[in-house]
Structure 1
Amino acid sequence: MNLQQFRYLREAVRQKMNLTAAAKTLHTSQPGVSKAIIELEEELGVSVFARHGKRILGLTPPGQQVLDAAERIMEEIDNLRKLARDYAGSPEGTLRLATTHTQARYVLPPIVQRFAHKYPQVRFKMLQGNPPQIAAMLAAGQADLGMATEALAGTPGLRTIPVFDWEHVAIFPAPHPLVRFVRHPERLTLKELGKFPIVTYETHFTGRGKIDAAFAAAGIEPSIVLEAIDADVIKTYAASGMGVGIIADVATRNHTEPLLAVKCGHLFGRNTTHLAVKQGAYLRGFVYAFIELVAPGWDRRRVEHALR
């Protein structure tokens, strides 16, 4: 057995049993991938893949266990390489952060700028997706850190730390019947808000679940006329008068649209954004430094204790 066989097996599964696609990703030949996997099966004495003729149908039960073991071995090899680079004093490397549009657009720019200034030799790679996709990227080892509100806390195989709390706001252009609640947001009710068409996030994004749950608990079916993953899109359509926008309060920072905002924490509750890492992953020194920039007070010792 060798690491190349494990690497080929892992990539074949990632490419949904398409050995040609796996070979392309690995910059090798399809026959080479096929031969390596067959040799692994012969050495182990078990069939890793279930086949019908030349077509691979999927993993066999023992094949799944072989893959799990190979994933752990590859992860530990990667951890050793990271550890060696840290102890060699090399600041070079790549920090891969998986996050949502809201975090990438409104929260992270000044943080990434400070990090880049402090670690100019570290390449920063930002991967965007919805929270379930972010959790999947972490689990697959495709990201070092994940940052989102939903899906991360409580996901098996991930460890999280809370970063900050936020609440939703209702946004609209003036004049508007909701203007009277700008100075007294606590007086706004779900019944009043439900009188207007709503423009808000897609399911799985930025606390949408809490919005739906609050209206459902009140027995109100809101008229959601537009859903988007991007707060900028929601603000644009709210400004056009299409409906009342419901977005994260962090997305109202420095916005230029002619919009008023009413805090809705009393209606939809508060939300917590988390940073997450894969359990057992080795984090390089600059990753801990980035975490502390995002969450001041979370130094390396505190983070290591929380992630155990």
Structure 2
Amino acid sequence: MPIRLTIRQLEYFVAAGECGSIAAASQKLNVSSPSISSAITQLELELGLPLFVRQRAQGLKMTEAGKTLAVQALNVLNQATELTRMAGAVSNTVQGPLRLGCLVSFAQIVVSSLRRSFEANYPDVRMSQVELTQNQIFAALRRAEIDLALSYDLNLPPDLEFHLVNELPPFALLSPEHPLAGHDSLTVYDLAVYPMVLLDLPISSDYFLSFFTRAGLSPIISERTRDMAVMRSLVANGFGYSIANFLPLNDLAPDGRPLKFVPITGDVQPIAMGVLSVPGSTSSGTHAAFVDHCRAQLT
């Protein structure tokens, strides 16, 4: 009798193995724990092999058979995703689900309006989003957990494709009372003598700090935060200046205090914003349409 497996069973099995527990896989996939548990049990019965050792205190541990199956299951899931992309390319239609990953900085400012306008133009598309760090975006694309990602061209691996949308020059955020707030432009030499509030996100922080390193300077980092809203509030309340590339929609911090934005000139490189994908992804009509929509809306 042939073995009957489903893509859903393999997806739940791989997620449980990566997360180490049914509960964590349930949260990751937004699927009930009993559904995941039942799928794994059915998979084990179909194969006639135990895939996990259930440990009350330590969650799930893969058996050797489970580890072998997990490698093949990932291949099958990736191939299934590619088949879906090919089908979309053949039909050249803009429809179906579109899972978007995005850096936190984009999620706060542009993603909601970008989704709304894209879905208004293409009502047969159902978008979802997840906020990730740069390295998490790379991993999620490779595991086919997301289809596309809004990101920067920082530390990009060679196995992913970057589709340029816009180039964003850096600027300094200052409170109106800051001694440099009245300047039309600033250099890192102007900024280096004042306290800095560093937006301490992975990879992005290295980019900001490289401005000073190239000039042989060391910034005075007085505060660090991974949250853009917190960063703006700290700046507006006089804890220091900060640097960013994406202008907020208004000149107010979350607590209502005003901010000033001053361009940074000199040996500072703009950062490229774009859509990141696995190779060949934008042959899909839906994916290509989203890249074009980003260029129309964000340029």
Superposed pair shares fold, TM > 0.5: yes
Q: Distance in 1 between matches of 2:89 and 2:226?
A: 37
Letter in 2 for 1:278: V
Give the corresponding residue for 1:40.
Answer: 47
TM value normalised by structure 1: 0.74
Give the corresponding residue for 2:260.
Answer: 260
Give the corresponding residue for 2:5.
Answer: 3
Give the corresponding residue for 2:35.
Answer: 28
- State the aligned residue count: 283
The answer on whether the counterparts of 2:86 and 2:284 sit within 8 Å (CA) in structure 1 is: yes
Distance 1:279 1:242, change over 3 A: same
Q: Distance in 2 between matches of 1:145 and 1:32?
A: 28
CA offsets per residue over residues 84-118 of structure 1, 9 Å max, x none?
57767875422211101222233445433321211
CA offsets per residue over residues 258-301 of structure 1, 9 Å max, x none?
3222222524322112311134658642222111011259xxxx
Q: How far did 1:233 drift?
A: 2.4
Q: Secondary structure at the match of 2:238?
A: coil
> Is the deviation greater in 274-283 or in 118-127?
274-283
Q: Secondary structure at the match of 1:251?
A: coil
Q: Distance in 1 between matches of 2:295 and 2:63?
A: 41
The answer on whether the counterparts of 1:197 and 1:224 sit within 8 Å (CA) in structure 2 is: yes
Q: How far did 1:175 drift?
A: 3.6
Give the corresponding residue for 1:275.
Answer: 275
Q: Distance in 2 between matches of 1:281 and 1:30?
A: 32
Letter in 2 for 1:33: I
Distance 1:86 1:150, change over 3 A: closer
Indicate which of 125, 132, 135 corresponds to 1:132: 135
Give the corresponding residue for 1:306.
Answer: none
Indicate which of 13, 19, 23 corresponds to 2:17: 13
Distance 1:49 1:152, change over 3 A: farther
Is residue 2:119 matched to residue 1:123?
Answer: no
Letter in 1 for 2:118: F
Is residue 2:284 matched to residue 1:293?
Answer: no
Letter in 2 for 1:251: L
Is residue 2:161 matched to residue 1:164?
Answer: no
Note the residue ranges of structure 1 that are not aligned, 5 or more in a row: 298-308
Q: Distance in 2 between matches of 1:26 and 1:2?
A: 22
Q: How far did 1:56 drift?
A: 5.6
The answer on whether the counterparts of 1:15 and 1:21 sit within 8 Å (CA) in structure 2 is: yes
Q: Distance in 1 between matches of 2:286 and 2:66?
A: 36
Letter in 2 for 1:166: L
Give the corresponding residue for 1:223.
Answer: 220
Letter in 2 for 1:275: V
The answer on whether the counterparts of 1:199 and 1:244 sit within 8 Å (CA) in structure 2 is: yes
Is residue 2:240 matched to residue 1:238?
Answer: no
Q: Distance in 1 between matches of 2:294 and 2:265?
A: 23
Q: Secondary structure at the match of 2:170?
A: strand
Q: Distance in 1 between matches of 2:54 and 2:275?
A: 40
Q: How far did 1:164 drift?
A: 1.5
Q: Distance in 2 between matches of 1:57 and 1:126?
A: 30
TM value normalised by structure 2: 0.76
Q: Secondary structure at the match of 2:207?
A: helix
Indicate which of 198, 201, 213 corresponds to 1:200: 198
Q: Secondary structure at the match of 1:160?
A: strand
Note the residue ranges of structure 2 that are not aligned, 5 or more in a row: none
Give the corresponding residue for 1:302.
Answer: none
Letter in 2 for 1:138: L
Q: How far did 1:120 drift?
A: 2.2
Q: Distance in 2 between matches of 1:203 and 1:89?
A: 38
Letter in 2 for 1:178: L
Q: Secondary structure at the match of 2:247?
A: helix
